[in-house]
Amino acid sequence: MDFEPTESQVDLAEGVRRLCAGRFSLEKVRAFEQVDRVVDRAGWRALGEAGVFSLCLAEEAGGVGLGLAEASLVFEELGRAMIPGPLVATHLAAGLIDGADDGSVVVGLVDALPTGPGITPMVVEHLADLDVLLVLSDAGVAAVDPHDLEADALARPLDPLTPLWSVASPPEGTPVAGPDIAAWWRRDGAVLTAALQIGSAAWCTDLAVDYAKERRQFGRPIGGFQAVKHLCADMAVRTELARCAVQAAAVTVDQPGVGDPDLAAAGAKLLADDAAVANGRSCIQVHGGMGFTWEVPAHLAFKRARVRATQFGTADSLAETLAASLAPSAADVV
């Protein structure tokens, strides 16, 4: 047992971090705020060339042949860079949808589960950017041509970098994969989305800490006051705990026999959502009034974290999954 990343895993993550710093600087990312199309096609292909989408695809199928452990490290970096677009969906679709692996095609995904209690219209992300939309259900995965879809653009999406559409009647589409694939996509999608959340949580910690060192009030940097210092410390602790959960979940998927991958994925997503949302909130708080301005990017991480917290399991559904592992189902008890 050695749960530390190997040298090549560290190198891989650093390589992706450099790619993101060059291709997806915050300035470049923010240029896409509040437009219908947020995917930079050239950047998407660069991610494809770097192997981001084909990372877990077998080498025989033209992929890199690595595991979810490596993917979780890579997706943490993508999350840190706040790259907009359906990163997880395109990664999952590699090998199933032509062009997903090399980034020449942008694939979106929506779960056919109800949008919320008693809410029927489906909320679909990134529709204008998509070449293919996949619909995930217990029965499997179906492909839909986004151009055929009757959808209404939502004028004021929470995250300015995640444009949304409302779809009144869920499309049927063409089946492309069965229930087994759907189940493992839900699991791996949860782990990779959780990894994006870790990147976001860590980015928020860095931004808040930098500001707390710089901003002076009462003649001292505000980070010298325990009230602020402890907010920052809690951000770091949350991130590290959730990071361990996410990486352990990824390794549990890769290495059969070390644990229950479905439970590990649910726990990782639950804690990573908590960390990303809470750190987004704390990052705004540390910035004080400036944190409430559009200019300071803290809100972007906070809002994106909220978006991701609705994907591949919500706090309630994930907690129920974990609870079910502790006792017979609620139905049996009542």
Where along the sequence are the contacts to other proteins (CB under 8 A)?
1-6, 9, 69, 205, 209, 212-213, 220-221, 223-224, 226, 229-230, 232-234, 236-237, 240-242, 244-245, 247-248, 250-252, 255, 257-259, 263-264, 266-268, 270-271, 315-316, 318-328, 330, 333-334
Quote the CA–CA distance of 259 and 175 in Å, as a whole number. Answer: 32
Q: Of the two residues 158 and 241, which places its CB atom closer to other proteins in the complex?
A: 241
Work out how close the CB of 297 gets to other proteins at its nearest, in angstroms, rounded to a whole number.
Answer: 19
Q: Of the two residues 235 and 305, which places its CB atom closer to other proteins in the complex?
A: 235
Q: Of the two residues 9 and 200, which places its CB atom closer to other proteins in the complex?
A: 9
Q: Of the two residues 90 and 205, which places its CB atom closer to other proteins in the complex?
A: 205
Contact 98, 61 (CB under 8 A): no
Work out how close the CB of 186 gets to other proteins at its nearest, in angstroms, rounded to a whole number.
Answer: 17
Contact 149, 121 (CB under 8 A): no
The CB density around residue 147, as the number of other CB atoms within 10 Å, is 9
Nearest C-alpha neighbor of 196 from the set 250, 154, 237, 160? 250
Q: Of the two residues 83 and 275, which places its CB atom closer to other proteins in the complex?
A: 275
Q: Of the two residues 167 and 245, which places its CB atom closer to other proteins in the complex?
A: 245
Neighbour-count burial for 49-77, b at 16+ CB within 10 Å, e otherwise: ebbbbbbbbeeeeebbebbbbbbbbbbbb
The CB density around residue 273, as the number of other CB atoms within 10 Å, is 27
Going by DSSP bridges, is the β-strand pair 107-111/132-137 parallel, antiparallel, or unpaired?
Answer: parallel
Contact 287, 208 (CB under 8 A): yes
Work out how close the CB of 91 gets to other proteins at its nearest, in angstroms, rounded to a whole number.
Answer: 19
Q: Of the two residues 148 and 260, which places its CB atom closer to other proteins in the complex?
A: 260
Q: Is 123 left (phi over 0), alpha (psi -120 to 50) or beta?
A: beta
Q: Of the two residues 121 and 221, which places its CB atom closer to other proteins in the complex?
A: 221
Q: Running DSSP on this structure, what letter comes out for residue 214?
A: H
H or E stretch covering 153: strand 152-153
Our measurement of the distance from residue 255's CA atom to the centroid of its chain's CA atoms, rounded to an integer in Å, reads 22
Quote the CA–CA distance of 231 and 226 in Å, as a whole number. Answer: 8
Strands (E), 38-125: 107-111, 122-125
Work out how close the CB of 221 gets to other proteins at its nearest, in angstroms, rounded to a whole number.
Answer: 5
Work out how close the CB of 7 gets to other proteins at its nearest, in angstroms, rounded to a whole number.
Answer: 11
Contact 269, 320 (CB under 8 A): no
Work out how close the CB of 142 gets to other proteins at its nearest, in angstroms, rounded to a whole number.
Answer: 30
Work out how close the CB of 225 gets to other proteins at its nearest, in angstroms, rounded to a whole number.
Answer: 9
Work out how close the CB of 315 gets to other proteins at its nearest, in angstroms, rounded to a whole number.
Answer: 8
